[in-house]
Structure 1
Amino acid sequence: MNVTCPTCAAADETVAVREALLDSERALDPPTRELLSMPSEPRSASGCAIALFVLTGLFGVVGLSALRSDDDGGGSSDAAYQFGHRYGLLLVAAVLLGIGLLVHARHRSRQRAATAQWPRTYEQWQRLHQVWRQTRLCRRCHVAFLPAAALRPDSAASAAIPVAQFPQWTTALARQDEHPGAPVTSD
């Protein structure tokens, strides 16, 4: 689909933003790449905490099964050895659980600190990604824009915006549909 730039009316230098980022023959300079890059997808859980919780479960199950067995610990009469043999895996599970809870709490506090940043949820990120996917870049004018009917069949073409304003512009467009069906108020 050939789309013309609203500034220079040429179609030969107009490409999708994602294509411009992937083009190795005409690579963009690092600051421009940074401005045009899509924000990473928000994660709801820490992978490290999940791994620690899984390990906790495994050690807990094995520890409980060892506790239920009638094994006397190799016949040793040393009390510390007997305690470690009987409860050692459960102790390891408890330590892993504590570490997992700390990692999870730290991840949650970082998420709360980033609350001012948008997108916070996967649904918000999907809307932002849809805007980003449809946006075009004019390499000649160094501007970004949305062609007509890019997001909705009835949407008009957007004005050209400088690449420096691209992150704020895409976020503002994606947030327009944040509350669909909400009544429009006029002052």
Structure 2
Amino acid sequence: MSATCPQCSAPDQSVAVPHALAPTAQPPLDEAARAQLVPPPAPQPGRLRLNGGTITFYALTGVLTLLAVLSLFGNHDADLDGAEPAYVAGYLIGPFLFPLLFLLIAVVLHAVSRKGQHRRLAETLPAQQALWQRHHFVWQSAWLCRRCRVAFFPAAALRPDVAASPPIPLDQFPLWVVTASDRTYGFPTPPVAPN
């Protein structure tokens, strides 16, 4: 199939965008043109983040552990002279109980937070995948005129009732892919996954 460039009205230098980016394409495109014609990126699962409560409890655990370790290096002879072994053990181990408690709370909060984030990501990923598939289909339907250095969509490339596009400067091509996808297929943008 060939397509006529809307700027120079010649089909001899027109090539589908995916073919223009192929490693075997002749002549090869320069890096600037390749960077503007790359396909839309596939959706990636969002990053899981620590929530504020988890960070706070981890920080408290660290501070209290440091204080407990420093307390071991103090002079305890006066406090522990003649004390029962149970008292000595409690005196030495006691400062580590609060850090341990805060660590357990932080671990539980972290697990609950991650579970909620995984659930939210699982809910938003299918919609993002559907949006990416639409954008990718539109990207595959685009053509490039090597002579004019413009992209375009031939008539009926996206849908039988869609007219040909005007010449699209390469720096505007990524925006055209998104806009043409939304206008042609009319789907709302899906929710964005939390970072």
| Pair in the same fold by TM > 0.5 | yes
- Taking the aligned partners of 2:132 and 2:12, their CA distance within structure 1 comes to 30
Within 5 Å, give how 1:3-18 maps onto structure 2: 3-18=3-18
Q: Paired residue for 1:139?
A: 146
Matched, 1:151 2:124: no
Within 5 Å, give how 1:64-143 maps onto structure 2: 121-143=128-150
Larger RCO (CA under 8 A, 6+ residues apart): 2
Within 5 Å, give how 1:13-92 maps onto structure 2: 13-24=13-24, 25-44=26-45
The answer (yes or no) to whether the contact 2:36–2:171 under 8 Å persists in 1 is: yes
User: How many positions carry a matched residue from both structures?
Assistant: 123
SS at match of 1:167: helix
The structural deviation recorded for 1:145 is: 0.5
Aligned residue identity for 2:27: R
The structural deviation recorded for 1:143 is: 0.4
Q: Paired residue for 1:179?
A: 187
Q: Give the alignment partner of residue 165 of structure 1, picking from 165, 172, 176.
A: 172
Q: TM-score, normalised by structure 2?
A: 0.53
The structural deviation recorded for 1:105 is: 5.6
- Percent of aligned positions that are identical: 44
Aligned residue identity for 1:43: Q
- Taking the aligned partners of 1:12 and 1:173, their CA distance within structure 2 comes to 25
Aligned residue identity for 1:30: E
- Taking the aligned partners of 2:36 and 2:117, their CA distance within structure 1 comes to 31
The structural deviation recorded for 1:44 is: 3.6
The answer (yes or no) to whether the contact 2:40–2:139 under 8 Å persists in 1 is: no
The structural deviation recorded for 1:164 is: 1.0
- Taking the aligned partners of 2:154 and 2:41, their CA distance within structure 1 comes to 24
The structural deviation recorded for 1:29 is: 1.1
Q: Considering only aligned residues, what root-mean-square deviation do their CA atoms show, in Å?
A: 3.4
Q: TM-score, normalised by structure 1?
A: 0.55
Aligned residue identity for 2:9: A
Aligned residue identity for 1:147: P
